[in-house]
Amino acid sequence: MTAIAIPPLTKDLVRVLIDADTIQRRVDELARKINKEYAGIEESLILVGVLKGSFIFLADLCRKLNVPHVVDFISLSSYGNSSKITGNVRLIMDTRENLENRHVLIVEDILDSGYTLDYLRRNFTARNPASLKTVVLLDKPERRKIDAELDYVGFQIPDVWVVGYGLDYAERYRTLPYIAEMVPVTD
């Protein structure tokens, strides 16, 4: 097998915050916990990835699950046209699956203010799922505006903008295998 070159940091990126191996080890651990928790479920678990940021995390996570599951997606808009947090979350694209009486696991890239997850929890609870849990790769606890119930968390990180492993800045850097800190952006 040929080794895959790790893309170097560009001038926009301050440092690697979480390297690729550390991410993979943590995704392994999260998958093990999820496998244990849902072992023996009769109907498939529904993984609902929040687009777009979670797609790489979801792809890695679901391939490590040995419990029956289906993959679905939802798309939300949380910030409107600026990066200011408004708490104004809108549904852009709904799930294809009917969530009623199903075991649902929300897969999110990063928890910041908490508004997105709070919106999703309330929206999904109203659909009467059999159970509802969340797995979030990154958590910025310093930024929390609203209490968020988290079931599985990958890493707690400081209050900096991060990119890579699905996360972007203006659609760039999503495919980096590591998570990097960006130079502060002013808008």
Q: Counting contacts by CB under 5 A, is residue 181 touching Mg ion?
A: no
| Of positions 30, 46, 110, 132, contacts ligand XMP by CB under 6 A | 110
> CB 101: neighbour CB atoms within 10 A?
11
In the residue annotation, 112 being an active-site residue is answered as yes
| Of positions 17, 109, 139, 152, contacts ligand XMP by CB under 6 A | 109
Largest CA distance in the chain: 50
Q: Give me the 142-161 binding string for ligand XMP, x by CB under 6 A, dash otherwise.
A: -------------------x
| Of positions 109, 112, 118, 139, contacts Mg ion by CB under 5 A | 109
Q: Total residues contacting ligand XMP (rule CB under 6 A)?
A: 18
Going by C-alpha positions, the residue among 157, 155, 139, 156 that lies closest to residue 147 is 139
List binders of ligand XMP among 27-56 (CB under 6 A). Answer: 50, 53
Q: Residues 6 or more apart from 28 whose CB is under 8 A from it?
A: 64
Binding span for ligand XMP by CB under 6 A among 19-27, 96-104, 114-122, 127-135: 114-122
Please report, as ranges, the residues that interact with ligand XMP according to CB under 6 A. Answer: 50, 53, 78, 85, 108-116, 161-163, 167-168
Residues that bind Mg ion (CB under 5 A): 50, 53, 109
Residues with active-site annotation: 112
